[in-house]
């Protein structure tokens, strides 16, 4: 897991470049919380620093406070990259001595054939130092291809494009790259379609990022998503397309349903919030069709919040339909089985524990998952049927070991789970969401998929229902064939 924000400005830019870089990187922090890095060019030198922890803690003094107070010249420039990463350090790599012009590079994604690529480079007399990881591997692959005839083109842009294309054709997995030279930013959107980059523009500045949520509070206007495999160069706030690496591209179905910020936009222009609300609405329509109306509806914060909005709004829409039919004499009374559920918050998320999804270590993920939700006693809950909306069940550890146990102590008579994503039944082939099939809750020991009834029985709840692939595609608003469904049945 990781994310990128990069910005290029020209001489007419009147904003504070460092503050923009700091805030842009901060707005993609939800993607990863382990390590972070900053690279800035002033036209003559590239300054790179990688640090542990959250970007806003690691760089606040230099990039935010100093940007306001103007005490020193550290990290001053006109173009730069901010990067966050989690699973293991994927720092920004600085290459100062090679057959390419000086550059620094970072990426998001996952390299599945890492060992084979490293062996290829070692056999070609390349060396790796302790602590070097995938960003350095990608950089050395580019140098390798440059030395082996992929950069015979005359100008800098042609050389970098040739080496980026050759490198990405060798990588198996998902990989989007942003590369900084002394005067330009090169960006490649993931050819597989899983790590798509987005462009934002404002007067005298251009930003490229993993998600569009980092644009709005800084005055950037979302322009477009890059095509899968599209290569662009940005110089002095001007964007130019300079290449396209064609592969069989598929968008990740899980990103808009969980991984992305709800404030970010998917390629068709919908926000992730809108997608998640529609997923919740689909589950409500199914319940209404089956004449099932719970007394109470709630969500698991933060992941189920927008699904709950869609779920409740669908009941309100149906109530309005019944009222209109009643007023027009089409029905004599509202059906006795129908009611709009009350919204309660029996579990309150303690925000300072952060996300349980982003830490690299399993033990830390489980500790955060068990501690971040606080049950709230309320006499109104006793004897009520409750629907719990959440986005997904991956391993089931949090749901089975913590959340349901807490809910059962609050006095609900029945607990019904409404999961807005599909069952997750396979490891992610691109290393994006899950990596071990044996740990997936929806999969039996013999490899077959559990039914909804079997899952409900194991979780000790009254029912547990999921959206199908087709329903997820409808909520996103795209053809089902545009997505990778490798992790779902």
In angstroms and rounded to an integer, the radius of gyration of the C-alpha atoms of the chain is 25
* Domain at 2-249, CATH class: alpha beta
Determine the Cα–Cα distance for residues 11 and 71; give it in Å rounded to an integer.
Answer: 22
Task: Locate 482 and state its tokens.
Answer: 């545009």
Q: Which of 398, 290, 407 lies closest to 338, judged by CA?
A: 290
- Could you list the mean pLDDT of each consecutive 10-residue stretch along the chain, which spans 489 residues? 94 91 94 90 91 88 62 78 77 75 92 91 83 85 84 79 94 94 96 94 97 96 96 97 91 92 94 98 98 97 95 98 96 96 93 57 59 87 96 88 86 96 88 69 93 96 97 92 88
H-helix or E-strand containing 114? helix 114-122
Q: How confident is the model at residue 416, as a pLDDT?
A: 98
Q: Could you confirm whether domain 274-484 is CATH 3.40.50.2020?
A: yes
Q: Is 319 exposed, middle or buried (0-12, 13-18, 19+ CB in 10 A)?
A: middle
H-helix or E-strand containing 312? helix 305-327
Q: How confident is the model at residue 362, as a pLDDT?
A: 56
Q: Do domains 2-249 and 274-484 have the same CATH topology?
A: no
Any idea what DSSP says for residue 313?
Answer: H
Any idea what DSSP says for residue 411?
Answer: T
At residue 250, φ and ψ (nearest 5 deg) are -135, 135
Q: Which of 12, 25, 10, 103 lies closest to 64, judged by CA?
A: 25
Q: How confident is the model at residue 95, as a pLDDT?
A: 75
Beta bridge mates, 231: 188, 243
Task: Locate 416 and state its tokens.
Answer: 């019904």
H-helix or E-strand containing 7? strand 2-9
Q: How confident is the model at residue 433, as a pLDDT?
A: 53
At residue 487, φ and ψ (nearest 5 deg) are -95, -5
Q: Which of 160, 183, 157 lies closest to 236, judged by CA?
A: 183
Cβ count within 10 A of residue 462: 16
At residue 51, φ and ψ (nearest 5 deg) are -140, 160
Task: Report the sign of the C-alpha dihedral through residues 350, 354, 355, 359, in that order.
Answer: negative
E strand segments, 358-442: 373-375, 385-390, 414-419
Q: How confident is the model at residue 428, as a pLDDT?
A: 82
Q: How confident is the model at residue 448, as a pLDDT?
A: 94
Spans of all domains in the chain: 2-249, 274-484
Q: How confident is the model at residue 476, as a pLDDT?
A: 95
Residue-by-residue DSSP string for 152-219: -SSSHHHHHHHHHHHHHHH--EEEEEEEE-SS-EEEE--TTSSS--EEEEETTEEEEES-GGGTGGGT
Q: Which of 291, 294, 308, 293 lies closest to 386, judged by CA?
A: 294
Q: How confident is the model at residue 300, as a pLDDT?
A: 94
Helix, strand, or coil (residue 377): coil
Q: How confident is the model at residue 271, as a pLDDT?
A: 97
Q: How confident is the model at residue 475, as a pLDDT?
A: 96
Helix, strand, or coil (residue 343): strand
């Amino acid at each position: 897991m990781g994310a990128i924000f990069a910005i290029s400005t020209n001489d007419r830019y009147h904003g504070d470049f460092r503050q923009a870089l700091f805030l842009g990187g901060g707005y993609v922090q939800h993607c990863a919380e382990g390590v972070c890095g900053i690279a800035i060019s002033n036209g003559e030198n590239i300054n790179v620093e990688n640090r542990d922890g959250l970007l806003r803690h690691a760089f606040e003094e230099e990039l935010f406070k100093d940007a306001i107070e103007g005490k020193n010249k550290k990290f001053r420039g006109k173009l730069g990259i901010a990067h966050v990463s989690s699973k293991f350090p994927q720092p920004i790599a600085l290459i100062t001595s090679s057959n390419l012009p000086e550059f620094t590079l970072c990426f998001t994604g996952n390299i599945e054939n890492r060992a084979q690529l490293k062996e290829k480079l070692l056999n070609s007399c390349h060396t790796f130092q302790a602590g070097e990881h995938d960003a350095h591997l990608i950089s050395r692959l580019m140098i390798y291809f440059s030395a082996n005839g992929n950069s015979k083109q005359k100008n800098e842009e042609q050389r970098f494009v040739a080496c980026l294309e050759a490198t990405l054709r060798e990588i198996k997995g998902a990989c989007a790259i942003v590369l900084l030279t002394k005067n330009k930013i090169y960006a490649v959107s993931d050819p597989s379609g899983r790590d798509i980059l987005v462009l934002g523009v404002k007067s005298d500045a251009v930003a490229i990022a993993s998600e569009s949520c980092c644009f709005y509070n800084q005055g950037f206007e979302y322009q477009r998503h890059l095509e899968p495999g599209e290569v662009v160069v940005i110089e002095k706030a001007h964007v130019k397309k300079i290449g396209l690496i064609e592969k069989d591209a598929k968008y990740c179905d899980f990103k808009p349903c969980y991984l992305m910020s709800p404030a970010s936009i998917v390629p068709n222009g919908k926000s992730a919030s809108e997608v998640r609300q529609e997923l919740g609405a689909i589950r409500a329509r199914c319940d209404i069709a089956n004449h099932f109306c719970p007394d109470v509806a709630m969500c698991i914060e933060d992941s189920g919040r927008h699904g709950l909005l869609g779920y409740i709004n669908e009941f309100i829409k149906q109530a309005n339909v019944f009222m209109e039919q009643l007023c027009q004499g089409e029905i004599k009374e509202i059906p006795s089985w129908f009611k709009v559920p009350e919204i309660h918050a029996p579990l309150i998320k303690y925000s300072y524990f952060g996300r349980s999804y982003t830490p690299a270590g399993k033990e830390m993920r489980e500790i955060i998952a068990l501690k971040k939700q606080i049950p709230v006693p309320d006499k109104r809950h006793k004897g009520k049927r409750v629907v719990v909306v959440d986005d997904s069940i991956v391993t089931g550890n949090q749901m089975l070991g913590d959340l349901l146990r807490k809910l059962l102590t609050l006095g609900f008579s029945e607990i019904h789970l409404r999961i807005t994503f599909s069952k997750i039944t396979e490891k992610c082939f691109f290393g994006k969401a899950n990596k071990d099939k044996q740990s997936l809750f929806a999969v039996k020991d013999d490899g077959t998929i559990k039914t909804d009834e079997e899952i409900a029985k194991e979780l000790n709840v009254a029912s547990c229902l999921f959206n199908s692939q087709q329903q997820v595609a409808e909520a996103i608003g795209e053809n089902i064939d545009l997505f990778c469904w490798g992790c779902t049945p």
